[in-house]
Chain A
Amino acid sequence: MKKTFVMIAVLLITALYTSAQTLSENNLAKKWYLDKYKVASEEYQPSRKEKGDYLFLKDDKHFTSVSEGKEERGFWLLNVNGKYILMKDDKGEKVKANILRLTDQNLVLQFDVDEIREVEVHYSTQR
């Protein structure tokens, strides 16, 4: 019985590590749907207004995002060594988002903004 648990644990850890992706523009360039928020290990679901919000990082370095139904467009840049994405919208507003985790289907960002620095924003490729 004990061995079975150990085996399952090893398999789970292996699965977790193998699904983690190398930080690259190719792996990031997807349409990421807002999935949930996490603050100090507490999870929160997006509000009704935020349903369907997404961040679309395109191959050509353009991005489109929808936040509370409001669309923004601009450009994005990956800094591999800093592990962050720098986004600049059409109005010239810049935001830095630290990449906490990237897998084939999930992306976790922490926005470098005073008011929401403690919040992990979880995205998924699935709506």
Chain B
Amino acid sequence: MRSIVYLVCFLGSSLSTFGQGEVILNTEPFKHDARSVYIQKVLDERTRKNLGWTKNGQPKGIPLYLYPNATEAVQGFMDTSFPYTKAGRAIQIKIWDLEIQQSQSSITDIKTRVHMYLGFFERVGNQLKEIYKIRHYEEEVFPLSQASAIDTSHEKRIRAALEFCMLNFINDCLQKSDFAKMKSLDSEEVNSFKDPRILDVDSPLRKWYNLLTVQKIFSKYRQGWKVTYTGFADSEEDFILPFTLSYDQYSLKPKVLERKGYKSVDSYTLGGGLEGLVKILPGLYGRLGLHIPVGLESIKELQNKRKNNFLIGVKGRQGLVWIPWEDFGIVIGAGFFQQIQTSKIYKSDYGFELELGVNF
């Protein structure tokens, strides 16, 4: 009978956790030295009360909430480590931000994090006085292959972030006052853990872009197309070096073939190299590229005799790329290129290229 009750409880908690997008915060106590402090009240002052959205197999995604709400969940968590004592110092916590942020951080990884911004208050007379505030990011990186494990792990990071904020509050704030008998980290350590990022600076999570584009070139000698995959995490830095892989297929223009006396000249190259993106505006990037195309040149003479030639060259690119929508949309690019190569027909080429593709 008892096992049936356990099973029902388990199913109930699973449904509430996954079906309704609720995160049940466990109450794992942690060690600290502030024995005479307790959390009198937790106030949720966020304008948006959910933690974020999770796909969880739903096409539109579902909002995630702390169960039964952020105020009670955080209060319950704090009560296990900071229980009420009659002579204790009453602290109130205001939740200004508590959300889950997630983004692909590299070609193989996803970075997920909890962003927490808390204020600590104490009643002085009739007034509630702010005595401390802290912003903290609790981050974890998962391989893309383990992305399904992320949803169930948010709970642990929320607890870790709460513990981090509380320990910093105790060490940074209470330690400085005449708070009774508090043995804590020495002041040097207190400062050492004061991450300048966590106090007032908001740090947006980098957004990963996958671009798949097709380019058409307009050049002196060639016509054809090129398909390129580009992957990069947008950052606050002005210069980004993305991962690129490209394949192109070109043939000599009919007029050039006629003039040079060949039936056909086709080239097939794989591209690699450095392609830097200079951030101009959100979504608009300047592109500076240096590529080493390596491949094959297939020459067919007028007598139908075929020759193959190893092709290697150096290609420079300059242009603009526009990514109008962050999540899914069209990518538009344009630019100039210059190329020198080991071709038997033409050693250098230059021209203009147009690019169209998608980001996903």
User: A residues engaging B (CB < 8 A)?
Assistant: 24-25, 60-61, 74-75, 77-84, 86, 88, 92, 94, 112, 114, 117
Contacts and interface: CB of A to CB of B under 8 A. Distances in A.
A82 B114 CA distance: 12
Contact of B192 (A24, A82, A88, A112): A88
B141 A80 contact: no
Contacts of A61: 185-186, 189
A112 B160 CA distance: 15
A33 B166 CA distance: 32
B163 A88 contact: no
B207 interface: no
Nearest to B157: A82
A25 B185 contact: no
Given A81-B160, A88-B193, A75 B188 contact: yes
13 contacts: A75-B185, A75-B189, A75-B193, A79-B163, A80-B28, A80-B29, A81-B159, A81-B163, A82-B159, A83-B156, A84-B160, A92-B192, A112-B140
Nearest to B26: A81
Contacts of A74: 192
B30 interface: yes
A81 B28 contact: yes
Contacts, number: 54
Contacts of B156: 81-83
A80 B188 CA distance: 22
A109 to B, nearest CB: 15
Given A24-B31, A75-B188, A82 B141 contact: no
Interface residues of B, number: 23
B188 A82 contact: no
A82 B185 contact: no
A82 B160 contact: yes
Contacts of B157: 82
A3 B247 CA distance: 64
Counting chain B CB atoms within 10 Å of each CB, which of A75, A82, A88, A94 scores highest? A82
Nearest to A94: B195
A58 B341 CA distance: 62
A78 B138 CA distance: 14
B162 interface: yes
Nearest to B195: A94
B164 interface: yes
A45 B188 CA distance: 36
Interface string B188-203: 1100110100000000
B193 A80 contact: no
Contacts of B192: 74-75, 88, 92
B164 A82 contact: yes
Given A25-B31, A117-B141, A81 B188 contact: no
A86 B193 contact: yes
B193 A82 contact: no
Nearest to A26: B31
B100 interface: no
Contacts of B162: 81
A127 to B, nearest CB: 28
B116 interface: no
